Amino acid sequence: MKVVKGLEFSYQSTAQTRELVSNFRDMVNDAIRICLEENVKGRLRLRDRIYKELQLRYTVGSRFPYSVAEIAWSIVKKHKLWHRRPYAKKLMLKMDSRNYSLDYSILSLPFRKGERIFIPLQYGEYQRSFLIDKTLKRGSITMTETAIIITFWRDTPATEPLRKVGYDLNEKSIVDGDGTIQDLSKVARLHTLYGIRRSGFYERHPRDTRLKKKFASSTREKERVSQFLHRVSTLIVEKARANNEAIVLERLKGIRFAHQKGNGERKSTRRRIALWPFRQLQSYVEYKAGWAGVPVEYVSPAYTSKTCNVCGFINRNLKLTDRSWLCPSCGAKLDRDLNAAINIERRGKIRCLGEVRPGARGKDEAVKRNDTR
């Protein structure tokens, strides 16, 4: 299984780097023009068509036409339905792995004919771990005016996990079938904090639309929430990798469904939950798991919290405020979220080497009773 990751590095831009990205952008736009005017069909035909012409016009080496054609063709294809002529607006450059080299943190790129340009990448601890990892292969790079994104990839053998673990995700916490709890209340606190700041600001400056816009987008709030979700997702994936587990998550409809209008919750509560970035957390988990070779599966969320994990009884009267599961049928008693996590896990269909866990874990009497049955 090939896993790919794009990693961003910043760099100090110079007259040369600016020339490089602006030339590349101009070449892409020339190629788009030629492609449309001469009705060239296909990326490779386009490359052959522009090969000589661009080298002469831009005095660049022979390294560029392939990537120029690739990007120009993708823009033409994407914008077939536009009324005006498509063009590449941003300064950028793309280069495949054969045409650049990376010596630790010094990137070397073809520049003018017969010349190369050397760009020192700026990196932190995290990026450094990729630079020194000999097991990683390098794919294409994308360069903008301020950053260089390098794709790293490796082949991960598709191994069968030992077991699967379900995760019940709600606004306040994420609980797995082993009973591990991660507190997520910080997200709601951040939303409240920035919400209050914004509303106070509007009261003081009701007519300042420029600043209003700035605060409404609240980049800082999003950054802090993302940072937090990154930490949470890293812990989840690290645990799964260390124990060779698959991750089972709920398809998200359930959370929205549970908080629909008319379920007795206040409007402010429904609003707060609508803002909660459930999908963002899931996609971080999915992404990191993919890189770590940990399988992720999504299952139906129907009745995961209302079903008894011991006897299968469905308690339709369970309220959102009921924090523990007390089964009206078999008397099983355990934490509500843990019950849901175990149900989610059982719905997973990923094949595992180990056997299904025997009943549930935990110190609840009902569970023990189930084990001895």
- Chain residues binding Zn ion by CB under 5 A are 308, 310-311, 313, 327, 329-330, 332
Cα 78 to Cα 26, 44, 234: the distances in Å are 19, 17, 35
CB of 178 to Zn ion, least distance (A): 20
Residue whose CB is less far from Zn ion, 328 or 354: 328
CB of 364 to Zn ion, least distance (A): 11
123 contacts 105 by C-beta, under 8 angstroms = yes
Residue whose CB is less far from Zn ion, 17 or 309: 309
Tokens coding 256 = 């929205």
Other Cβ atoms less than 10 A from the Cβ of 226: the count is 14
CB of 360 to Zn ion, least distance (A): 11
Residue whose CB is less far from Zn ion, 275 or 311: 311
CB of 170 to Zn ion, least distance (A): 21
Residue whose CB is less far from Zn ion, 42 or 312: 312
Q: List own/partner pairs for 268-272 with CB under 8 A and 24 or more apart.
A: 272/171, 272/188, 272/191, 272/192
299 contacts 250 by C-beta, under 8 angstroms = yes
Residue whose CB is less far from Zn ion, 90 or 316: 316
CB of 135 to Zn ion, least distance (A): 48
**Beta-bridge mates of residue 296:** 247
Residue whose CB is less far from Zn ion, 69 or 342: 342
Residue whose CB is less far from Zn ion, 288 or 306: 306
Read off the amino acid at residue 318.
Answer: L
CB of 325 to Zn ion, least distance (A): 9
Sequential DSSP letters for 29-53: HHHHHHHHHTT--SHHHHHHHHHHH
Q: Distance (Å, rounded) from C-alpha 15 to C-alpha 143? A: 15
Residue 221 makes CB contacts below 8 A (sequence gap 6+) with 190, 191, 193, 194
224 contacts 281 by C-beta, under 8 angstroms = no
Q: Distance (Å, rounded) from C-alpha 296 to C-alpha 287? A: 10
CB of 308 to Zn ion, least distance (A): 3
CB of 289 to Zn ion, least distance (A): 32
Residue 68 makes CB contacts below 8 A (sequence gap 6+) with 24, 27, 28, 31, 47, 50, 54
Phi, psi of 26 (to 5 degrees): -65, -40
Residue whose CB is less far from Zn ion, 80 or 363: 363
